[in-house]
Structure 1
Amino acid sequence: MARVLIIGNAGGGKSVLARKVAAKRGLPYREIDTIVWKPGWEAFPQAEYEAAHAKLIAEENWVLDGLGWTESLPARFERATEIILIDMPLWMHFWLAAERQFQWAQGKLEHPVAGVAEMPSTRDMFQSLWETDRDMAPEFRRLTDLAERNGKPVTRIASVEELDRFAASL
């Protein structure tokens, strides 16, 4: 049984890395955003999200990326057998998310977030990055520290260079 949680702010390369880890280790890839967002960037109702989240994390094996709702983080961290935290400076997340927006606008984005065809508003995306850094990042950092103290393997990635090295080492 292996459950690898890849966590961090948007635009940091979680999904790309998660797909690589899943392929290399022969594990199913799961994306939290698919249970958060409906087409048109409409959020699923909280009860639907919670039921889907509980079902998803109950699976025996997965590589799971994404943030979801803050209240669901502790259960996800508890169930994970390994944590990969992508925690680059906020400006880098803005930069990488902007690059993704350009790819999306040009029709060159291979894997749209949550499979949603419509590109999100850049303004809304940047607002979300800011709010995630302010409101949610302290919690996923705290949970990562706790998981590490409790003996779970934790990999911390703080730059694009570290991300590239880790991906190349798979």
Structure 2
Amino acid sequence: MKKVAVFGKPGSGKSTLSRALASVTGIPLHPLDSMVYQKSGELVERKLFDEAHERVLSSDRWIIDGFGPLESFYKRLESADTLIYIDLPYRTSYWLVTKRLLKGLMVTPEGWPEGSSVVRGTMQSYKVLRLCPRFWNEAFMGRLETLSTDKTLYVIRSVAELNRFVPEHISE
């Protein structure tokens, strides 16, 4: 495990898992949100994002959590040696997005892009969740399985599996 792509629907625990992985393994973490958004919460110019993304992909070790532009997502999956797909049920993702909002009204969520509105981000997460079945579906799973033939693929389908992942799969 040297190049790790962590991905899934909004509110699935990608950032939390990625931080835990980075802490235990010492692999540098590159949250995609910090590459995609400026401190003001506005999108980074696409060319600048692509350059930053390529720099990370060409390094020896990395963890990247998130989705981002589609082309970059597939480049990341191709470059990674370890793929972690968090595929929680939709109601769980909606609940976790809502829980993040409620907590975020008092304290900015850890790893949240500086200057970004938690309310606006939550509304965007709800919007993306409504569209997710168009992408995160059986066709994607088939493509992922084909793409991962020479990689380690983990598919996490419950909060319990998510909570056990680091202790069960990573030795300190």
Unaligned runs of 5+ in 2: none
Residue 87, structure 1, aligned to residue 99, structure 2: no
**Could you give the per-residue CA deviations for residues 26-58 of structure 1, whole angstroms, max 9, x where no partner exists?**
211111111111234321222222122111211
After TM superposition, where is structure 1 displaced by more than 3 Å over at least 4 residues in a row?
A: 138-143
Unaligned runs of 5+ in 1: none
1:152-167 correspondence to structure 2 within 5 Å? 152-167=151-166
Give the conservation status (yes or no) of the 8 Å contact 2:41–2:116.
no
TM-score by length of 1: 0.87
Secondary structure of 1:10's aligned partner: coil
Distance in 2 separating the partners of 1:115 and 1:40:
7
Between the two proteins, the alignment pairs up a number of residues equal to 167
Give the conservation status (yes or no) of the 8 Å contact 1:84–1:156.
yes
Structure-1 residue corresponding to 2:60 = 60
In the TM superposition, residue 59 of structure 1 has moved relative to its aligned partner by 1.3
Q: 1:12 to 1:91 in 2, by over 3 A?
A: same
Residue 49, structure 1, aligned to residue 52, structure 2: no
Secondary structure of 2:151's aligned partner: coil
Give the conservation status (yes or no) of the 8 Å contact 1:3–1:63.
yes
Distance in 2 separating the partners of 1:112 and 1:42:
16
1:117-136 correspondence to structure 2 within 5 Å? 117-121=116-120, 122-131=122-131, 133-136=132-135
Q: 1:53 to 1:82 in 2, by over 3 A?
A: same
Distance in 2 separating the partners of 1:108 and 1:43:
19
**CA RMSD for the aligned pairs?**
2.0
Instruction: Choose 118-127 or 26-35, whichever is displaced more.
Output: 118-127
Identity score, percent: 26
TM-score by length of 2: 0.86
In the TM superposition, residue 142 of structure 1 has moved relative to its aligned partner by 4.5
1:1-80 correspondence to structure 2 within 5 Å? 2-80=2-80
